[in-house]
Structure 1
Amino acid sequence: MNTRTFLVTGATKGIGLALSHRLTKAGHRVVGLARHREDFPGDLVSVDLADRAATEQALHDLSSRYAFDGVVNNVGLVRPQAIGEVQLDDLDSVLAVNLHPALQAMQAILPGMRSRGWGRVVNISSLTVLGAIERTAYAAAKAALVSFARSWALELAPTGITVNAVAPGPTETELFRANNPPGSAGEKRYLSGVPMQRFGTPDEIAAAIAFLLSEDAGFITGQTLFVDGGASIGKASI
């Protein structure tokens, strides 16, 4: 097995942390970017990814120290709001946190991947791109990450660099559970939309991402993989 070096944004919680553990257990090196320092299995750089200048500096430093083989653009921001309550400043903030670090990270590590003729990029999107209440800003940002993946995949197809997106359904992260405790109306609403009638685990999402980062996924590019218990295809029959 080839040992690779991957950059993961939003790496210390939920899916990002599960992925970092999975990759390091497989023998890869993981460099994480996140706002808070926590117990992390790889090399972690503390940075506020909402700060454009700080992110740029961190990426510049890292790209001079590591030969990155790929990036997982996982950091995100959600601000649930009904249509009539969406403020333009909130829209701008959600779009910026979801999209700016993704483009910045891609631009920072692209020259190295090009020079080596191999690379993997995975953008973390969301089931909400198919439509979700109170997700005007978030769904738009996650849909843009799908568009990024498709456009970058076309541009980079001859280079040995693949670009894909993973769109998780409801996933049992700490943040999700804080907002949707067991037995709550929110939990019931989300479960009603998942044919498997359960939530995904961070490690199940991480497994799909890890596959797209692997040697075996070399002929897959420009795709969006929904990891959602069937939620993207419809409700289970009753």
Structure 2
Amino acid sequence: MNQQRTFLITGASKGIGFALSERLASAGHHVIGIARHAPEQGYPGQFIALDLADTPAVQQQFSKINAAFRVDGVINNVGLVRPQWLPDVTTDTLDEVLRVNLHPALLAVQSALPGMRARGWGRIMNIASLTVLGVPQRTSYAAAKAALVSFTRSWALELATQGITVNAVAPGPTETALFRANNAAGSEGEQRYLAGVPMKRLGQPEEIAAAAQFLLSDDAGFITGQTLYVDGGASIGVSQL
């Protein structure tokens, strides 16, 4: 039976982050959630309101968390999307998206790493995206998520002998506020996504969270450096309507 662990989750107030927080808490784990705003329905653990785009503040907060708690696992879930066609992409937008998606991930892991190494056990989970395989209007976002996949592989190699696994989950189109902000129900955008999903439906946050929860468990101790697509078959190839 898995023992109680402490997990830190960024972007924890809604969608996949909140669903994973609930699953981990229900399994008896201590969960520390971070996001800009607290969830309206309450949080199943300790919640810290923090603007994850503020790199100095993020670095300071992570240091405080790791001084106060034994952080056994880090889930890098925060995401920022700025949909733009190629001619409209600006370097400022690119920098913003890369910073929000990547800086907290790096800093969270760096802060928790000394404790994980000392205990000889740790889990690092990066939430990537199906968009790394190519989606229109996702130059900045897909680049950031592809970098998280690269982080996953590099960190897994560095930490492989230290009891610390590093994996990524790449969700397909998922019924979250982030997805709906750019793809309203019944919209052309939604239909474009569903056309590429063999199951012909959106994923649910709980389904993504279930896959992530397994990779965070003791049972997944021999799995590292992997990116698991949870996408209704969308990564297999092009689906026809």
TM-score (norm 1): 0.98
Report whether the alignment pairs 1:7 with 2:5: no
Q: CA deviation at 1:3?
A: 0.4
Cα RMSD, aligned residues only: 1.0
Report whether the alignment pairs 1:82 with 2:85: yes
Report whether the alignment pairs 1:186 with 2:196: no
8 Å contact kept, 2:195–2:240: no
Deviations for 1:66-122, whole angstroms, at most 9, x for unmatched residues? 001110000011100011100000000000000000000000000000000000000
Taking the aligned partners of 1:109 and 1:78, their CA distance within structure 2 comes to 26
8 Å contact kept, 2:174–2:203: yes
Residue in 1 aligned with 2:142? Answer: 139
8 Å contact kept, 2:7–2:32: yes
Taking the aligned partners of 1:191 and 1:112, their CA distance within structure 2 comes to 42
Counterpart amino acid of residue 130 in structure 2: L
Report whether the alignment pairs 1:195 with 2:206: no
Counterpart amino acid of residue 138 in structure 1: Y
Taking the aligned partners of 1:167 and 1:178, their CA distance within structure 2 comes to 19
| Unaligned 5+ runs, structure 1 | none
Counterpart amino acid of residue 94 in structure 2: L
Residue in 1 aligned with 2:172? Answer: 169
**Which secondary structure does the structure 1 equivalent of 2:95 belong to?**
helix
Taking the aligned partners of 2:127 and 2:180, their CA distance within structure 1 comes to 20
1:41-60 correspondence to structure 2 within 5 Å? 41-60=44-63
8 Å contact kept, 1:196–1:236: no
Taking the aligned partners of 2:144 and 2:105, their CA distance within structure 1 comes to 11
Counterpart amino acid of residue 17 in structure 2: G
Q: CA deviation at 1:237?
A: 5.9
Q: CA deviation at 1:175?
A: 2.9
Q: CA deviation at 1:236?
A: 4.0
Counterpart amino acid of residue 32 in structure 2: V
Report whether the alignment pairs 1:25 with 2:63: no
Taking the aligned partners of 2:186 and 2:76, their CA distance within structure 1 comes to 32
Report whether the alignment pairs 1:124 with 2:117: no
Taking the aligned partners of 2:184 and 2:140, their CA distance within structure 1 comes to 24
Q: Percent identity?
A: 67
Range moving further from structure 2, 86-95 or 175-184: 175-184
Taking the aligned partners of 1:89 and 1:179, their CA distance within structure 2 comes to 20
| Unaligned 5+ runs, structure 2 | none
Taking the aligned partners of 1:146 and 1:111, their CA distance within structure 2 comes to 22
Residue in 2 aligned with 1:225? Answer: 228
Taking the aligned partners of 1:83 and 1:129, their CA distance within structure 2 comes to 16
| Count of residues in Structure 1 that have an aligned counterpart in Structure 2 | 238
TM-score (norm 2): 0.96
Residue in 1 aligned with 2:116? Answer: 113
8 Å contact kept, 2:6–2:30: yes
Runs of 4+ in 1 over 6 A off after TM superposition: none
